[in-house]
């Protein structure tokens, strides 16, 4: 049967969107890689690419010959036209705002960070993020008329309802909604909002330390303790927007109350301020989290012991997650990740001892790649995926 022209056009548009979705998520790709990732035939894919190049939607890049090894000339790559769109990623953390302005072609045009008071309310936080974006745009002469979407990362629960330590109902999504609405009203584009630690997990799974595996656990160990799960290539959010909240696993059920409503949560025991207090009780004065990390790296006995014990607690909690998810990697980011093996080794040991020790598994416990920019980069990735339903693809190795 001969298809009607409108049906053929719908098929063509669907194929085009599949191709563009891969370019949005993975950046520059060769035609061979696109054929493999999209499943399109060579003839169809080449025809669509030719049309997109003629329309200025995508551009073709010549291969970089320097450093090339192997036989033959490296393939040309196709990428979204950098001038065809802009993406903004925001990590509006507890005390720091980080903003990245990028192109659809995955080029970073500007980045910046700015402190914000812990006590700042939603309106002040939204306005501070807007001010930082506008300052970066002016400083780097960026045209935001081509802005397509904004990704926004916030601490804590950004969806659903929770109960405070006092027992009253509260909705963390209210503040998130106020902030995202203010930013959306200012720029007139869609704003996709998620937990900033979960977005950092997305950044690591897209471009960073866990991009080569389909299942991964990410931990952000800083002022708070958060995380994210990549399951079969997708960022898991959970039924109530709380997936990956590793810091609120109770490790001491009779311990101190936590603002989440629980008791003895992991975050209360291993956040930097708690570790600094533990050092003080043992007669060692530590100035701040950076000093804590530096002394752990230097091998100071008491500080090293405190950090090791905290990392062991983290590893014990992670061991249960490892049993359930069976990830290929665990990535640790945040302030304490700067301590390197002083943190990774006890985490690795605890997982090895508790996560079905008799089971042979290859599990990498590594430092996250993106550090303090992970949340903002993940916000960029979330904005790039705003209209995507496919699992996250791994970046090409070539």
Q: Determine the 3-state secondary structure of 349 from DSSP.
A: helix
pLDDT bin (cut points 50, 70, 90) of residue 74 is: low
Cβ(263)–Cβ(253) below 8 Å: yes
The yes-or-no verdict on residue 392 having pLDDT over 50 is no
Work out the average pLDDT over 334-351: 96
295-328 pLDDT per residue, tens: 999 999 999 999 999 999 999 999 999 999 999 9
237-248 pLDDT per residue, tens: 988 888 999 999
Distance CA 129, CA 123 (A): 10
Domains 85-200+377-384 and 212-368 share a fold: yes
pTM for the structure as a whole:
0.77
What pLDDT does residue 276 have?
Answer: 98
Q: Which CATH superfamily is domain 212-368 in?
A: ATPase, nucleotide binding domain (3.30.420.40)
Cβ(95)–Cβ(118) below 8 Å: yes
Cβ(271)–Cβ(248) below 8 Å: no
Domain map (residue ranges) of the chain = 9-65+75-81, 85-200+377-384, 212-368
* Cα dihedral 368→369→374→379 (10° resolution): -110
207-246 pLDDT per residue, tens: 999 999 999 999 999 988 999 999 998 899 988 888 999 9
Distance CA 316, CA 234 (A): 25
75-116 pLDDT per residue, tens: 789 988 866 678 999 999 989 999 999 987 778 999 999 999
Most confidently modeled of 57-61, 190-194, 222-226, 319-323? 319-323
Q: Which CATH superfamily is domain 85-200+377-384 in?
A: ATPase, nucleotide binding domain (3.30.420.40)
Cβ(385)–Cβ(162) below 8 Å: no
Q: 9-65+75-81 — its CATH code?
A: 1.10.10.10
Cβ(177)–Cβ(207) below 8 Å: no
253-284 pLDDT per residue, tens: 999 999 888 999 999 999 999 999 999 999 99
The yes-or-no verdict on residue 4 having pLDDT over 90 is no
Q: Determine the 3-state secondary structure of 311 from DSSP.
A: helix
């Amino acid at each position: 049967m001969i298809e009607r022209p409108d049906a053929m056009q719908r098929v063509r548009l669907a194929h085009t969107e599949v191709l563009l979705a891969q370019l949005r998520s993975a950046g520059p790709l060769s035609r061979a890689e696109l054929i493999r990732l999209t499943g399109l035939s060579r003839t169809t894919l080449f025809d669509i690419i030719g049309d997109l190049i003629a329309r200025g939607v995508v551009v073709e890049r010549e291969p970089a010959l320097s450093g090339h090894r192997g036989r033959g000339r490296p393939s040309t790559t196709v990428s979204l036209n950098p001038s065809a769109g802009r993406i903004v990623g925001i990590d509006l953390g507890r005390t720091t705002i980080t903003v990245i302005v990028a192109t659809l072609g995955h080029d970073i045009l500007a980045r910046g960070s700015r402190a914000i008071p812990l006590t700042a309310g939603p309106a002040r936080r939204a306005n501070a993020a807007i001010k930082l974006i506008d300052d970066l745009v002016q400083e780097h002469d960026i045209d935001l008329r081509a802005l397509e979407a904004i990704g926004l990362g916030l601490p804590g629960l950004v969806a659903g309802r929770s109960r405070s330590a006092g027992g009253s109902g509260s909705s963390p999504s209210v503040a998130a909604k106020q902030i995202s609405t203010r930013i959306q009203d200012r720029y007139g584009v869609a704003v996709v909002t998620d937990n900033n630690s979960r977005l950092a997990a997305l950044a690591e799974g897209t471009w960073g330390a866990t991009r080569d595996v389909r299942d991964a656990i990410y931990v952000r160990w800083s002022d708070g303790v958060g995380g994210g799960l990549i399951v079969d290539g997708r960022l898991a959010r959970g039924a109530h927007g709380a997936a990956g909240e590793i810091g609120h696993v109770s490790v001491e059920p009779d311990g101190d109350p936590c603002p989440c409503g629980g008791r003895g949560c992991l975050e209360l025991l291993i956040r930097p301020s708690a570790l600094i207090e533990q050092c003080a009780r043992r007669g060692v004065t530590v100035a701040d989290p950076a000093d804590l990390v530096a002394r752990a790296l230097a091998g100071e006995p008491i500080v090293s012991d405190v950090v090791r014990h905290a990392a062991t607690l983290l590893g014990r909690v992670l061991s249960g997650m490892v049993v359930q998810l069976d990830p290929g990697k665990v990535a640790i980011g945040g302030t304490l990740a700067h301590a390197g093996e002083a943190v990774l080794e006890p985490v690795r040991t605890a997982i090895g001892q508790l996560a079905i020790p008799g089971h042979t598994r290859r599990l990498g416990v590594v430092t996250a790649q993106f550090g303090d920019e992970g949340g903002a980069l993940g916000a960029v990735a979330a904005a790039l995926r705003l209209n995507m339903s496919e699992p996250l693809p791994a970046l090409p190795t070539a």
